Amino acid sequence: MKTGEEKTTYAIPLEGVESEHGAQIIAKGLKSVAGIAMANVELNNNRAMVKTELPTALTDAVKKIRDLGYGVTTIKQTYPVLNMSCASCAISAESSIQSQRGVVSANVNYASGNLQVEYLPNVIQPHDLQQAVQSVGYDLLMPTDSHQTIAIEEIQHKQFEQLKLKAVWASALSIPLLIIGMFFMDMPYANEVMWVLSTPVVVWLGRTFFVNAWKQARHFSSNMDTLVALSTGVAYSFSVFNTLFPQFWHQRGLHGHVYFETAAVVIAFILIGKLLEEKAKGNTSSAIKKLMSLQPQTVVVIDQNGAEREIQIEAVVKGDLILVKPGQRIAVDGIVTSGHSFVDESMLSGEPMALWKEKGDPVFAGTINQKGSFQLYAQQVGADTMLAHIIRKVQEAQGSKAPVQQLVDKIAAVFVPVVMSIAILSLAGWWWLGGENGFTLGLNAFVTVLVIACPCALGLATPTAIMVGVGKGAENGILIRDAESLEKAKQITTVVLDKTGTITEGKPTLTDILWLDEMDAHRSILVGMEKLSEHPLAQAVVNYFGEVSFISVTGFESITGKGVKATADGKEYYVGSKRLLTESGITISNSLLEKENVWSLSSKTIIWFANQTQALAVMAIADPVKATSAQAIQRLHEMDKEVIMLTGDQEATAKNIAQQVGITQYHAGFLPQQKADFIKQLQADGKTVAMVGDGINDSAALAQADVSIAMGKGSDIAMEVAKMTIISSDLLKIPKAIQLSKRTVSTIRQNLFWAFVYNLIGIPIAAGILYPINGFTLNPMIAGAAMALSSVSVVSNSLRLKRIKL
């Protein structure tokens, strides 16, 4: 990186640029970005060089490159943010990161307490991000080892216990203060006693409010701490003045009221509210904690000598041979090498039935072995396991912002300055128009307005509901990548389904067989021949018969395009098409021919088995419809969703599958781009489209759709493109995802409604709008309790999502 006098040249590492033409397209696109003085692409080094003095220009450059269809090498990371006390804090911390050169995107979620950041590693490093956050009064917890999750939980637990201690002490000191202030104001030395009791609450227990407010003020910013510090600080300072110099007011014919109990009780209420808020916020992330607890801490590894030894999970590497005993959780992703057992994979699929695992079968971290025992070869360990992938996706989704949250953030950013202005105007107005008690009433209004205003309720309204909603989805086998897809799912009008692997099982299966004269010997010969065949349909026959003993055949010969033949017990046998049998002069009975006609009408593939004189059996192979597909499609119809099937398969097969599952609209012979174009046309017609697919050929359509849903047993590319993944590949999860979206969005709206209504009603009353009508002024202590209650009520309402049944 070279530094000039004003502008700096930066390198942006590129992906997927393979030609000079592509390089020219990128260079031309970058020159159109505001703030970039120079741009060229070094194809040999696979990087773009840009010269700029604007911090935001690099971010815009990365977006431009991606818009042009090329990739940029970046790092995405999540860091816990420490010392945040309200939604305004999250905005302040986010702004400090977003303004740094080399940061592509930054999102600080107040509810989860995490920063999600994407940055260019050759321009900025994590310690630079930490310094940026520290400069505005917060901190980032940097990963130092594999125990970061434990470190985070320890810090959060320690902070919770400290907050709990402060809340208990503040309450203990505020209760006698409240009693004296309300019932024993005239007792000797009442003001002095209240001064002594309130000082530890304000100066010690409420110290963090003042420290954080000062940090914000140094950066010409403000947050919730600013409101608390100003209100309680003014109340306390005014009370100290009146206690030390009561004659100042007496000489003016006024009585100098003290507000020691107000300052202390407000801090006590806010600390109690924050304690309840933190506890509730901890419950919203319980899905993550449950997922993290699924991985065992130790495993038994078998060394080269066959000896068993127990090691920590962090020490496991790819290629280790691991022993899994009955009842144990599986620690890593791998392949069974010996032994067999049933394994409960409900944490992945949501299905209660345990699956049979034997040599060659895959097993996954976090799933539970049943009564058997087996050894597995470790393929994916640590952060590469499917469980770790799910945890990351859930964390990213819980930390992402719904579109409505972006509006809330803008409101929260100006909320505190507006409230401070209203408080000052209230004080000035009362002082000017309130007569002899104008200053006292004005001070009461000033303190109460500052206390009752609650940006926290606004800040928590959306992210807490999103966190619980995403967690609920994960518990039900629905992996939601971001908040936007969760919010959009309720708007879906049309569901477009791929056929193979989505509606159907996605693999050929022998569905029917009719024997002319069934014999064990014939069955063994058929399996023996198909085990030697390389045809993809042969495996379906082998799978159908399972562990049937087979006869080793001789003279095995593959007849291209027709089938195979082999010799067993001195006789020739054939497996293949009807054409193979007729050309070999083999007779076929009418009963077998009739069955062939029936199965052919269902678009099934027909395979024949014969000896050298007659057909012995006819078999039908198809990609069967999943057991729940028809029920899921019926449920979508009941929800008034239009359901369309797109497939690259032939018309007859598409028609048959559509009839089986109750779909009236379908299109066959579609290429991948045609699927994407079809969805684009639906969107042009004003429809909100969900695309459900499982293969690489669906990726373009998934990217085009408003809500993209991938089958969990499909391709990695489909799951990477999709915003939702159905882990079990069960279509019944789609109506559940739509229902979850409706309930989550409904909860967000309820939260925002009450948060806005609370502030719209509370702030004018605190300012004294009712005083000219009925003489009512709001006590700051009541305002503090109301503010705490508003935050807790919003979080509690979000937690109700955990109890819904999908």
Residue 402, classified by CB atoms within 10 Å of its CB into exposed (0-12), middle (13-18) or buried (19+), is buried
Contacts of 153 (CB under 8 A, 6+ apart): none
Question: Side chain identity at 538, as an amino acid letter?
Answer: A
- The angle at the Cα of 585, spanning 579 to 586, to the nearest 5 degrees, equals 80
Contacts of 115 (CB under 8 A, 6+ apart): 78, 79, 80, 81, 93, 94, 97, 106, 107, 108, 129, 133, 140
Q: Do residues 529 and 547 make contact, with C-beta atoms less than 8 angstroms apart? A: no
Question: Side chain identity at 264, as an amino acid letter?
Answer: A
Q: Please, where are the H alpha helices in 363-482?
A: 386-399, 403-433, 438-452, 455-475
Q: Do residues 689 and 708 make contact, with C-beta atoms less than 8 angstroms apart? A: no
Instruction: Please tell me the distance from the alpha carbon of residue 234 to that of residue 546, in angstroms, as a whole number.
Output: 82
Q: Tell me how crowded residue 368 is: count the other CB atoms within 10 A of its CB.
A: 17
Q: Do residues 641 and 494 make contact, with C-beta atoms less than 8 angstroms apart? A: yes
Q: How far, CA to CA in Å, does 209 sit from each of 223, 317, 417, 534, 714?
A: 10, 47, 17, 73, 51
Q: Tell me how crowded residue 805 is: count the other CB atoms within 10 A of its CB.
A: 6
β-strand 321-324 against 298-302: which pairing, if any? antiparallel
Instruction: Please tell me the distance from the alpha carbon of residue 376 to that of residue 380, in angstroms, as a whole number.
Output: 11
Q: Among 332, 337, 345, which Cα is nearest to 384's?
A: 332
Question: Side chain identity at 23, as an amino acid letter?
Answer: A
**Buried (b) or exposed (e) across 700-724, using 16+ Cβ within 10 A?**
bbbebbbbbbbbbbbbeebbebbbb
β-strand 494-498 against 642-646: which pairing, if any? parallel
Question: Side chain identity at 396, as an amino acid letter?
Answer: E
Q: Do residues 467 and 285 make contact, with C-beta atoms less than 8 angstroms apart? A: yes
Instruction: Please tell me the distance from the alpha carbon of residue 242 to that of residue 185, in angstroms, as a whole number.
Output: 14
Instruction: Please tell me the distance from the alpha carbon of residue 546 to that of residue 195, in angstroms, as a whole number.
Output: 85
Any bridge partners for residue 674, and if so which?
none
Could you give phi then psi for residue 72, rounded to 5 degrees? -130, 135
Instruction: Please tell me the distance from the alpha carbon of residue 655 to that of residue 783, in angstroms, as a whole number.
Output: 66
Q: Which two tokens stand for residue 295?
A: 């991985």
Residue 778, classified by CB atoms within 10 Å of its CB into exposed (0-12), middle (13-18) or buried (19+), is buried
Instruction: Please tell me the distance from the alpha carbon of residue 444 to that of residue 428, in angstroms, as a whole number.
Output: 12
Q: Show which residues are catalytic.
A: 498
Instruction: Please tell me the distance from the alpha carbon of residue 771 to that of residue 784, in angstroms, as a whole number.
Output: 20
- The angle at the Cα of 202, spanning 199 to 203, to the nearest 5 degrees, equals 75
Q: Do residues 117 and 396 make contact, with C-beta atoms less than 8 angstroms apart? A: no
Q: What SS3 class is residue 36?
A: strand
Instruction: Report helix angle 438-452 to 733-767, nearest 10.
Output: 170
Contacts of 403 (CB under 8 A, 6+ apart): 484, 487
